[in-house]
Amino acid sequence: VVLCGRRGCRGVARDRAGGGARPRLAAGRARAPGVRARARHYAEDGYDIVLIGHAGHQEVIGTMGHAPDAIHLVETPEDIASLQVRDPDRVAYISQTTLSVDDATRVIRALRERFPNARGPRGDDICYATQNRQDATRVLAQRADLVLVVGSQTSSNSKRMVEVALEHGAVAHLIDDADAIDPAWFSNVDTVGLTSGASAPEALVAGVIAALRALPRGARVEPLEVVDEQMHFALPAALQRLPLAL
């Protein structure tokens, strides 16, 4: 079985690994395959493709691998001014699924100002889990003195959640796990907001809660529900057909 990572893989890597009769499964984000499919479609139709995302991010690397000769990567509205395209009327855009809607919207606005006929997705490419967590972080930051985000230092959406908390008035830190907590952070802090990146294991969050409860002042946990997520994903058909190990 060949398994492509959760943020996708480059077309050349996928093709190289897919030889023979081995089953190939994609473990990508729900929206990422659609972004990559649009990249291939736009490239086949002769469009210059503007990919809004962060250089070096695994999803961006994977998407660019599907249309390497047609994609221009931009990160900020300022990057739009230096774009060189073949035909200003044949420009399309796609975005990394773990961006914030606010960041993507600013770049898209600048893109459409320069290329009014730019084509884009009918809906939103942003991963629902990413956007929900950013929306919840805004609310959390308004109620807490300190916000802790459990997530990887390489996680784009976790880092953005810290930025959102800072923008809305809270002190915020990104931590890998409970071991990263600094007791000095809790001086003059009465309310701590705790959240996590979309891919952070629940066990890490539970470990941070246990560490907060073990502090001299202790901690009382009050869940804050901003969005009721009811999204469910079925197993890929190819995976459902695999024999069970006994």
3-state SS of 144-201?
Answer: CCEEEEECCCCCHHHHHHHHHHHHCCCEEEEECCHHHCCHHHHCCCCCEEEEECCCCC
Answer yes or no: 59 catalytic.
Answer: yes
Measured distance CA(227)–CA(43) in Å, rounded: 37
Return the sign of the alpha-carbon dihedral for residues 55, 171, 214, 223: negative
Is the CA virtual torsion 11, 13, 19, 22 positive or negative?
Answer: negative
Residue 222: CB atoms within 10 A of its CB come to: 7
Catalytic hit among 59, 75, 163, 222: 59
CB atoms within 10 A of CB 40: 15
The helix/strand/coil state of 30 is coil
Two structure tokens written together for 61: 């690397």
* Residues identified as active-site: 59
